[in-house]
Structure 1
Amino acid sequence: MNQSPFTSPSTTGLLANRYQLKQLIGSGGMGEVFLANDILLGGIPVAVKFLTKTVVDSKMQQDFAREALMSAALSQKSIHIVRAYDYGVNDKGKPYYVMEYLSGKSLKDLIPLPLHIFLTLSRQICLGLQCAHQGINIDGKICPLVHRDIKPANILVIPDPILGQLVKILDFGIARFLNYASTASTSRGFNGTLPYCSPEQLDGEKLDSRSDIYSLGVMMFEMLTGKKPWQPETDYFGAWYKAHHFEQPKTIAEVKPTLKIPQKLNNLIMACLAKKASDRPQNIAQILQVLNSLEPLNCPSLPTNIASSSILNRPLNSALPIAIEQSCRQLLWPENKPIQEIVFPQILDTAQGSMTALWLMLSQQEIKNYAASTRYSRFIFITSPHPMLLWVTVLYNRQLAPKWLPCYLDMQNPQNLKMVSLLTENEHYPLIFFTLEEPHSCTQVLSSRIEPTQRQLLKTWVQQSHTLPPTSQAQLSRQLLKQQYKQIQSRILQHLESEPQVVLSRF
């Protein structure tokens, strides 16, 4: 653990009458991070980051509040930016952020990376940066955000059941506030990390997204080689100023001759390192275009062991009782549901007990087409700003387009909580197909399996939902889940395409 850069808050104190500080879990140039429990939300773990700067006047407090609010708003737009929940200034004048607590590894501890992992992580980093550079709406005005301190230490990599590894960018807004605080309090203040700073940042110029692109180029070089493009004799400002302004970066081939990478990836990284901002890629979209063109060839989007946490339904000896299928076939389409192609969850009461089922209305031809499809299920849950569950079922047939069946469940709705609780009690749930054509009868019943670890997660999420205070932001959480849904669809599809096709039994 690094030595604390300032006097630490009490590791057992109560911050803002809400956050019970537990222990120091990290420190660096910007401050210290503590694990804490949010007692207002039933003791769920959060991370509290205290900054090194002291807020000495009301103007600085206003600017910190603005940066914190912008950072919090931005974190709601992308799963690749660590979520910020709260901010404040303690009684010693130290500003702090309250963030989601994530168990993962810093990118700096993982490099150098194999090419396929490099491509996966780089793409996610770019998606987070692109979201920030596109800006957020503040009082009707779009405000782009520049990170100003992109480096491996500010990238967290956490395990994820869909992506394998999920990238989270840390400290958005903090770098900008610290830069302001430093220049406001001293005539020659500088904040940033010298090996990753763009020439214009070292000159104190106004920065745009191309400065982050330069830092990204340095980081991508290091991710592949384990070394930086320059190796000045000292780590002082003057040595790095000279390197960034006047010295050509080393090539990847010079630093790591054994590494073989596509030429256009090499060209991309070197272009990001151009001294003039106008000579670099002008936006993250241009970088993503190159990375996306390489990814299918070099980097499977899903890890090879994804089947252990995904739910691919294959013929099983322990099929659900035939009595359940018979009960389903006797059902009538609910009168309060429209006659159209829709899907919704509903509790099914049978002689064997209650269970949650998916009800679908499709054309007779589609029902026939997907009768022998692979079924895949995935659940995604977010607690903030409103507890919401996304339940995705996919019907996959290699000869047809996949049939996506997403359901969004407000986890503060008692009926939805009951449905999810029932999902945890049964290994399978029924998919009940009704025809779009009259008489709209049930003509097919399939089963979809929920893998044990997923059922355990569902139990945890139900318990969490019971402890969270009421909110009125369900629509915002739904939008956030829609974004995550779009991002994982291609990966789920690539995984399904890589699996051997099997003919599946009914119940």
Structure 2
Amino acid sequence: MNQSPFTSPSSTGLLANRYQLKQLIGSGGMGEVFLANDILLGGIPVAIKFLTQTVVDSKMQQDFVREALMSAALSQKSLHIVRAYDYGVNEKGKPYYVMEYLCGKSLKDLIPLSLPMFLTLSRQICLGLQCAHQGINIDGKICPLVHRDIKPANILIIPDPILGQLVKILDFGIARFLDYASTSNTSRGFNGTLPYCSPEQLDGEKLDSRSDIYSLGVMMFEMLTGKKPWQPETDYFGAWYKAHHFEQPKAIADVKPTLKIPQKLNNLIMSCLAKKSCDRPQTIAQILQVLNSLEQPNCPTLPTIPSSSILSRPLDSGLSITVEQSCRQLSWPENKPIQEIVFPQVINAAQGAMATLWLMLPKQEVKNYAVSTRYNQFIFITSPHPMLLWVTVLYNRKVAPKWLPCYLDMKNPQNLRLVSFLAENEHYPLIFFTLEVPHSCTNVLSSRIEPTQQQMLRNWVQQSHRLPPTSAPQVSKQLLKHQYKLIQSRMLQHLESEPQVVLSGSI
């Protein structure tokens, strides 16, 4: 274990007058991780990583701050990258990151994986890497990020209450800073994990996304077989340099003869392990294309939905006559603008309080969607702020789909009440009002919530009650907007591939 930068967490007081360190929860080549409480946010738990490298001059500190800012900005763009909230340098010159505290397992403790689990996790890893490689905007300039240390120990798997597992990639930005700091201090510096390093990284060349793709190939090989593509006689630098530069990787079939995988997956992994970067897949998008095609036969019902979401099946009428009559008697709220909008609202019907969705559309659009296939989806994130995205889509092949998204701050008591009612009813009404005078209710449709969805909504309400308030609801909303855009195209592809009849099953 590395020497701690503290005598003991209890004797240090507050770090940066904000973080109360509790205990050491992990250590490794890059540094040590402490569990801490963020006093300014009501004692919410956070993880603080102290890096091994000491910041010795102002130039290094500026570089660390830049890398930390880039890492923090990146972590707000993808659910698959651990959130970085804060950074700094302590009184002993140790730089640190403040990250979300997550309970999960390292990928290294789970491998080897079954093929379905491999596909699920690999795809999420690629989505996180793709976001980083596409870059973030810093002062008007797009700055791509290369991780430089992709390995199973830097992949955290979080239990997901709906679809099983959620991937979080750790340590973006840290590897790059350590690499810089090491080479700044000595003439022969190297940071990385030898079994996963690309040939160009070992040569100290300038790296791009294809270096991460090489490391990803090593990791995917190991995820399936439990072994690495090479087994040099020693773990010294020279032995791994020789393996990565001159030795061909072992065949997956030779390492694990009982494993049966599609040939195109075998070819993909081997191409990632090419010695020359120009011979590998040039972007993560090319890898995702292959992984998505492999997932289709195993999960033909829209496999690309994120792990924190669930879709309902096509919906029947489901509303009682009394509920429908109650909805038709409603008037457009005086505090809502007369324009094309959608919003949720609790109403008191004959059967009691229930959550509803109100829409105002031109008369012709109301007619277009009077007969339509309805799907809904709920996505919930807890960090940095609990936020729920509730999406209903109306699909009629003759016209464009009508998307009805609602973003609900789950620390708002009214929204908690609304989602609670939503979870207690099998159907929720879609109440159509016309944009034209007299703005009356002309149609009432329903959307069905499956039992699994109902239970998830109940769980999310309970979670939201327990979570402390934060000052970052807009950050969570932006994260959900990003996921919403990704999901829309895939939902539409699925809908368009189905015959225009009342569909059955789930997506």
TM-score w.r.t. structure 2 length?
0.84
Q: Is the 8 A contact 1:72 1:83 kept in 2?
A: yes
Q: Distance in 2 between matches of 1:394 and 1:242?
A: 55
Counterpart in the other structure of 2:481: 482
Alpha-carbon distance, 1:330 to partner: 0.6
Alpha-carbon distance, 1:326 to partner: 3.3
Q: Distance in 2 between matches of 1:398 and 1:102?
A: 43
Alpha-carbon distance, 1:352 to partner: 7.3
Q: Note closer, same or farther for the CA distance 1:128–1:423 as it changes in structure 2 (3 Å cut).
A: closer
The amino acid that maps onto 1:460 is Q
- Total equivalences in the alignment: 485
Alpha-carbon distance, 1:92 to partner: 2.2
Q: Is the 8 A contact 1:380 1:389 kept in 2?
A: yes
**Percent of matched pairs sharing the same residue:** 73
**Structure-to-structure mapping, 1:433-452, within 5 angstroms:** 433-435=432-434, 440-446=440-446, 448-449=448-449, 451-452=454-455
Q: Secondary structure of 1:113's match? A: coil
Match 2:457 to one of 454, 458, 474? 454
Q: Distance in 2 between matches of 1:331 and 1:120?
A: 45
Match 1:418 to one of 410, 414, 428? 414
Counterpart in the other structure of 1:97: 97
Alpha-carbon distance, 1:431 to partner: 2.9
Q: Distance in 2 between matches of 1:268 and 1:378?
A: 33
Counterpart in the other structure of 2:227: 227
Alpha-carbon distance, 1:242 to partner: 0.9
**Structure-to-structure mapping, 1:8-407, within 5 angstroms:** 8=6, 10-12=8-10, 13-161=13-161, 163-298=163-298, 324-334=323-333, 336-340=336-340, 342-349=341-348, 355-361=354-360, 363-370=365-372, 376-384=376-384, 388-394=387-393, 404-407=403-406
Q: Secondary structure of 2:82's match? A: coil
1:40-87 deviations in Å (ceiling 9; x for gaps): 111222111111112222221111111100000111111111110001
Shifted more, 56-65 versus 153-162: the winner is: 153-162
Q: Distance in 1 between matches of 2:136 and 2:98?
A: 20
Alpha-carbon distance, 1:174 to partner: 0.3
Alpha-carbon distance, 1:441 to partner: 2.1
Q: Distance in 2 between matches of 1:463 and 1:486?
A: 29
Q: Is the 8 A contact 2:50 2:97 kept in 1?
A: yes
Q: Is the 8 A contact 2:161 2:456 kept in 1?
A: no
Q: Note closer, same or farther for the CA distance 1:11–1:366 as it changes in structure 2 (3 Å cut).
A: farther
Alpha-carbon distance, 1:423 to partner: 2.6
Q: Secondary structure of 1:166's match? A: strand
Q: Is the 8 A contact 2:379 2:390 kept in 1?
A: yes
1:269-303 deviations in Å (ceiling 9; x for gaps): 11111111122122212222222222212456659
The amino acid that maps onto 1:24 is L
Q: Secondary structure of 1:54's match? A: coil
Q: Note closer, same or farther for the CA distance 1:344–1:9 as it changes in structure 2 (3 Å cut).
A: farther
Q: Secondary structure of 2:248's match? A: coil
Shifted more, 330-339 versus 109-118: the winner is: 330-339
Alpha-carbon distance, 1:479 to partner: 2.8
The amino acid that maps onto 1:461 is S
1:296-315 deviations in Å (ceiling 9; x for gaps): 12456659xx9997666988
Alpha-carbon distance, 1:94 to partner: 1.5
Shifted more, 190-199 versus 259-268: the winner is: 259-268
Q: Distance in 2 between matches of 1:159 and 1:488?
A: 21
1:375-421 deviations in Å (ceiling 9; x for gaps): 5441423543x664322235679999975421123567xxx541332
Counterpart in the other structure of 2:408: 409
Alpha-carbon distance, 1:158 to partner: 1.4
1:330-361 deviations in Å (ceiling 9; x for gaps): 11234543354x42123435687755421124
Q: Is the 8 A contact 1:346 1:358 kept in 2?
A: yes
Q: Distance in 2 between matches of 1:390 and 1:21?
A: 34
Q: Distance in 2 between matches of 1:89 and 1:54?
A: 9
The amino acid that maps onto 1:113 is L
Q: Is the 8 A contact 1:375 1:394 kept in 2?
A: yes
Q: Distance in 2 between matches of 1:161 and 1:438?
A: 46
Unpaired segments of 5 or more residues in structure 2? Answer: none
Q: Is the 8 A contact 2:409 2:415 kept in 1?
A: no
Alpha-carbon distance, 1:446 to partner: 2.9
Alpha-carbon distance, 1:31 to partner: 1.3
Q: Distance in 2 between matches of 1:8 and 1:259?
A: 47
1:214-233 deviations in Å (ceiling 9; x for gaps): 11111111111111110001
Over the aligned positions, Cα root-mean-square deviation in angstroms equals 3.5
The amino acid that maps onto 1:368 is A
1:424-447 deviations in Å (ceiling 9; x for gaps): 256135432335677542432536
Q: Distance in 2 between matches of 1:133 and 1:120?
A: 20
Q: Is the 8 A contact 1:417 1:462 kept in 2?
A: no
Unpaired segments of 5 or more residues in structure 1? Answer: none
Q: Secondary structure of 1:451's match? A: helix
Q: Note closer, same or farther for the CA distance 1:6–1:234 as it changes in structure 2 (3 Å cut).
A: farther
Q: Distance in 2 between matches of 1:155 and 1:293?
A: 23
Q: Distance in 1 between matches of 2:38 and 2:114?
A: 38
Q: Note closer, same or farther for the CA distance 1:431–1:455 as it changes in structure 2 (3 Å cut).
A: farther
Q: Distance in 2 between matches of 1:160 and 1:50?
A: 28
Q: Secondary structure of 2:9's match? A: coil
Q: Secondary structure of 1:25's match? A: strand
Q: Distance in 2 between matches of 1:238 and 1:366?
A: 69
Q: Is the 8 A contact 1:309 1:453 kept in 2?
A: no
1:66-123 deviations in Å (ceiling 9; x for gaps): 1100000111111111110001112222211111112221111111112222122112
Q: Distance in 2 between matches of 1:344 and 1:395?
A: 15
Q: Distance in 2 between matches of 1:180 and 1:138?
A: 19
Q: Distance in 1 between matches of 2:356 and 2:328?
A: 13
